[in-house]
Each structure stands twice: as structure tokens, then as C-alpha cells.
A = this chain, B = another copy of it.
Amino acid sequence: MSQRLTGPVLVVGTGLLGTSVALACRRAGLETLLADVAADHVRTATGLGAGRPLRDDDAPQVVVVAVPPDHLADAVAAALLTTDAVVTDVGSIKTGPLAAVAAEVSPGELTRYVGSHPMAGSERSGPLAASEALFDGRPWAVTPHEASAPDAVELVEELARVCGGVPLRLTPGEHDRAVARVSHLPQLVAVLMAARLAEAPPEHLALSGQGVRDVTRIAGSDPGLWRQIVGGNAEAVLTMLGELRGELDALMAAVGSGSGEALERMLERGVAGTRAIPGKHGGTPAPTAPLYVSVPDHPGELARLFTDAGESGVNIEDVRIDHDPGRETGLVELVVEEARADLLLTALESRGWVAHR
């Protein structure tokens, strides 16, 4: 039986994530209390309907610590020492902060701490960027340590569900290795690639297609935040970077030796990797196919396209607008179930769209 979350929920740190947690809890009818070293953040979050400022005599059931990585452990320890609540945090790394918290509180107090990490964010920050819907449908890692009380773990999982997330239980070490691989390494790989573009002549960049844009997009994220994230997970990140370096050396050897077979084996492992990412709704990904449609680049045309596509009854799995350097038309890529791609193509062409597979 799952532990009952009745509130109040105290949110410490009312930036993007903290205010979003508070708004999501309010949506579920829970009482929420707000605290932040920046008084204006609390005022803003209160004004958004995220809750009321914390008072000395409040007794929260759960504390959610949502402060920057460098201050996380201190804030978690303070919450354990000053309340009787179950304490969690929403930080993107788990092992280091846990060790730091354990050094500051007693073993008994530590049983009330269960780390967590919602896989959601935004390129913006601050309470004004917050939303009650930020976590809807997102994975939310819950990372108990060995001495976390089972009731406390269930309560944090309930919090994740109340906020709209999908709880996934991992140990702190597993979590940090997992995010090193599926989040921190891709971030750094995108940065390394994007840095190669920063030095390129403009006439070389004019040949850029959608591929390089996709590979480098996340490299545009906030360097200050990523410095803290990568720095806080240095050991797991270094392991991944070391593996990458070994693969890079093997790739250079394959290209340099002219061994097409060795190169092709490496390219095939890349294909296998893209297929390993779970599909929509957690299931095995159904084979999909892209369909390309020429669309005039002004308001209303996309609506017309999606109306026509919707009437064909074919569900659109993904969409991409191809940026096009020379013309006032866009190329829209519709990704649909492979078996239904021809049906959609015929439907669109019969309505006058210029489309191809």
C-alpha cells in the first residue's frame, strides 16, 4: 500500500523546479509552504499561486529541496535537522550530496532522506518559468540509500506521482552512472561537436543540414549550471568520457587504416544504440518512417497541414521543421508508423500537398 501524501509540502528554493513542484502539489489540492534565500523569488512564487511563505511554527510532512547543486547537501541537512519531515531533493546528481548529508546529520535523521530527480527542465530558469505541468509524463528517478525508511521512500514516490511524473527506483550510484551515460555524456558530446563549429568559416557552415543541428542543439544550454552538474558527477562522467576516448581511438584507427569493415562494424553499433532507447509509452519502438512535406513559411499553413493529416487518421509520432537557407518555404518532416506512411502520403497528395517519403 502506498504511503499517503497529505501535506503540507515545504519547497526550499523557489526557482523553476521548486516552484513547479509547488504548483503541481497545489493542483493536487495539497497545502504548500515556500522558502528561498531570495525573498523576491518567494514573493513571485506566492503571487503565482504556488503557496505561502514558511512560518516558524509550520510542520511540513515532506520537504522538497530545489536549490542549485553547490548548495544542495547543506540545504538537505538543514531540513533534516530543523523538521521531522521526510526530506527529498530534485538535484541532478545523487551520490556526492548523499555523502555530504550523511556527514552532517545523525544516522537516525538520515533515514528520513530519500533523494530524487525528475527528468524535466527548461532552457529558462526562475519561478516565472515554472509550470504545474512541467513533470507531466516525465520519468522521475527516486533514489533511496540503504538506510532510507521504506515509508519515506513510498512517500517520495507518491510525491512524484502527484506531480504528474513516473517514479523509477534506482540506487544513488546507479542513478549517477545512468545520467552520466544518457544525459551528461550526450551534453558533453554535443558541446565538443558544437565547439568544432565555432571555428568554422561561414561558407563551410552554409552546408549545415538538419543532422548537425540536431547533434549540437543541447550544447546551447547554460554553461554555469552544466559546470555544476558535470563537476558534481565527475567520477561517473570521467568513466564515460574514457570509454568514449577508447572508441574514438578505435574509430581513428579504422579510418586511418582504410579498413572499411572495422569502420562499418562501428557504424552498426551506432544503429544498435539508437534502437536501444525506449520508445514512446515505454514500449518497444514500432518502426517509423519520415514523410517530407513542402510548407509555405507563414502562419496557418501548419494548421492546414495538421488538419489534413489528422483527417487521414494516421497518428503523427514526431515532427521536425527543416530550416532552409535559401527559400521562404519550409520542409516539414512528419514521422509516422512505417506501415501507415503511404496512406498518409496519398492523403496529403490528394489534398494538394507536395510530399515525398
Contacts and interface: CB of A to CB of B under 8 A. Distances in A.
Interface stretch (A83-91, A99-107, A148-156, A320-328): A320-328
Contacts of A123: 289-290
Interface residues of A, number: 146
Contacts of A354: 133, 136
A316 B290 contact: no
A329 B136 contact: yes
B298 A302 contact: no
Oligomer: number of copies: 2
Nearest to A124: B357
A325 B212 contact: no
Contacts of A228: 260
A314 interface: yes
Interface string A206-221: 1111011111111111
A54 interface: no
A357 B240 contact: no
Nearest to A262: B227
A215 to B, nearest CB: 4
A248 to B, nearest CB: 6
A38 interface: no
Contacts of A320: 318-320
B258 A223 contact: no
A204 B218 contact: no
Interface in A185-204: 185-198, 200-204
27 contacts: A123-B290, A124-B289, A133-B356, A137-B329, A137-B330, A175-B207, A181-B200, A182-B197, A182-B200, A182-B207, A182-B208, A186-B211, A192-B247, A195-B272, A198-B270, A202-B278, A208-B278, A213-B277, A216-B273, A228-B260, A237-B255, A241-B251, A279-B323, A299-B310, A303-B303, A303-B306, A319-B320
